[in-house]
Amino acid sequence: MTASTVTAVIDLDLTGPTISRHVYGHFAEHLGRCVYGGFWVGEGSAIPNEGGIRLDVVEALRRIGIPNLRWPGGCFADDYHWRDGIGPRELRPRMVNSHWGDVVEDNSFGTHEFMALCELLGADPYVSGNVGSGSVREMSEWVEYLTRGDDSPMAALRRENGRDEPWRVPFWGLGNEAWGCGGNLRVEQFASLARQYATYVRDHGDNTVYRIAAGANSDDYHWTETLMRSFDDLAAPDSRAWPFQAVSLHYYTMTRGWSSKGAATGFDEEEWYLALRNATRIEELVSRHEAVMDRWDPQRKVGLVVDEWGTWWDVEPGTNPGFLYQQNTLRDALVAAVHLDTFHRHAARVVMANIAQTVNVLQAMILTDPETGALVLTPSYHVFAMNRAHHDAASLAVTFKGDVPVREVVGDHLATLSASASTRGDTALVSLSNLDARRPVTVVLDLRGRDVTSHRATVLTADALDAHNTPSTTGVAPREHAGVTDHPRGLEVELPPHAYVTVALDLA
Ligand code: AHR
């Protein structure tokens, strides 16, 4: 099939805002087999572990440079009482995980286990505090327990439980989905509560907490507007004087919507396009929340944290509907790629993002076999791996000249080409997604401002749209891409249908 050709102009010397590595953040909830079985197998497990934490999962996540991990939820966070998860495991009280499968949680994975996990991962902890059913005192004491160094009551309790030194906790969530499972609050009520709770999330010693108020559900711009209006003085030079430093946003991609999420595999071309059309909506959502925030904070000092995003399909047949276990295909990989493109484009405002969720739940990086323990890296994992050079790199604008291929999807338009780029020192990385199920596309990279001395391209694709990996078939993996040739303007890149390609450049 003849490929259409699109020119993408990139000025390699005109750098934009830095893409925070934290937009490559992750999320681990007490949900299904994410924590239990995914990260945590317990010290007695035959699976190699350190203090009960699976080492194969840790190593895989270290390879993609996991920058932060959000925990313990999600909806679970607003049911979680941290004191139930400290001290000798056999004495920890049990609770019902009412949101996720109505199962009994034995609290064997708690604060110390989470912090040990973050240390093994080399990731910053992002603790999601309980506003929905907790108390101000409970949250305040949790921060003190984690981060205070002297002989305060909570620091002393931490020492009794075996940890002498305080930890560093840079990120703190004030509630989760306060409009829903986090208390069914009105935004005006939540804005007041967030200010109150934030007052007691204190900076102890040299630990500075970046506080993130539970934000909007997809296109609820009124929620963002109300939170922004609740700041007294955004002109204050020291952002630590503000009640919170960021607001969050949650958006999930489904095939048709909550009532018809669609299958993770075995879908047809129509479902492919519906899902990708829904995924590309992230650009509109971020742009519009950003526009609301810009009205109150034109200097973009308040962060937007997309701390839950990704695909949400029907659970795999035969699995617990409350455990949200789903396969992950090439389609998920492209959903990830277009979200990351948006986060790169909005680097000045989007300071963090957390794909949901890291292991065995929703759009996971890693699946583990409950019987054998075998670990599978998903196509989404490979997108994160291929994009690693974007972490903390300076964003570069990618401007398409002329028309990009567009497809009509139920009265809407889906641009089937997505791209972003960044540079660091004498290197640059260009990310290119072809969302068309059947047609290849040729992209001429019109590279200006600096000379390119060499390039290496990598492709992630497969024959089938729903190609995925299992313990015995791991074929959806990045390969060297030969389809890049010199062009008078820079480089010509052939994108196969339904493919993700990165082009790494060395610059003079
Ligand atoms: O990620 C699964 C759930 O989705 C989270 O617990 C909740 O915050 C959201 O609705």
Question: What's the confidence (pLDDT) of residue 122?
Answer: 98
Give per-residue pLDDT as tens, 262-272. Answer: 999 999 999 99
Whether 308 is catalytic: yes
The residue from 29, 177, 271, 494 that is catalytic is: 177
| Residues whose beta carbon lies within 6 Å of some atom of ligand 1 | 29, 73-75, 176-177, 308, 356-357, 362
pLDDT one-digit tens code per residue, 423-469 = 999 999 999 999 999 999 999 999 999 999 999 999 999 999 999 99
Q: Give the atom of ligand 1 at the shortest distance from the alpha carbon of 74.
A: 6
CA of 74 to the centre of ligand 1 (A): 5
pLDDT category at 241 given cuts 50, 70, 90 is: confident
pLDDT for res 235: 80
Nearest CA residue ID for atom 2, ligand 1 = 74
Structure-block tokens of residue 351: 């300071």
Instruction: State the average pLDDT over residues 87-98.
Output: 97
Could you give the CA distance from residue 167 to residue 159 in angstroms, rounded to a whole number? Answer: 12
Mean pLDDT, the chain, whole residue set: 97
pLDDT interval class at 189 (50, 70, 90):
very high
Closest residue by CA, ligand 1 atom 3: 74
Position 1 confidence tier, pLDDT thresholds 50, 70, 90: low
* Average pLDDT of the residues in 199-209: 97
pLDDT, average across residues 276-295: 98
Classify each residue of 115-140 as buried b or exposed e, where b means 16 or more C-beta atoms within 10 Å of its C-beta: bbbbebbebbbbbbbbbbebebebbb
Mutate to test the pocket of ligand 1, among 26, 29, 76 (most ligand atoms within 8 A of CB): 29
User: CA 56, 59, 64, 69 torsion: positive or negative?
Assistant: positive
Is residue 240 very low, low, confident or very high in pLDDT (cuts 50, 70, 90)?
confident
pLDDT digits (tens, 9 = 90+) for 129-169: 999 999 999 999 999 999 999 999 999 999 999 999 999 99
Q: What share of the chain is helix, strand, coil (3-state, %, to 5)?
A: 25, 30, 45
Cβ burial of 407 (10 Å; 0-12, 13-18, 19+) is middle
Catalytic residue among 308, 371, 408, 492: 308
105 is catalytic: no
pLDDT at site 328: 98
pLDDT of residue 37: 96
Cα distance between residue 81 and residue 85, in whole Å: 8
With 0.85 as the threshold, say if the pTM is over it.
yes
Band (pLDDT 50/70/90 cuts) for residue 290 is very high
- pLDDT band per the 50, 70, 90 thresholds, residue 2: low
> What pLDDT does 238 receive?
80
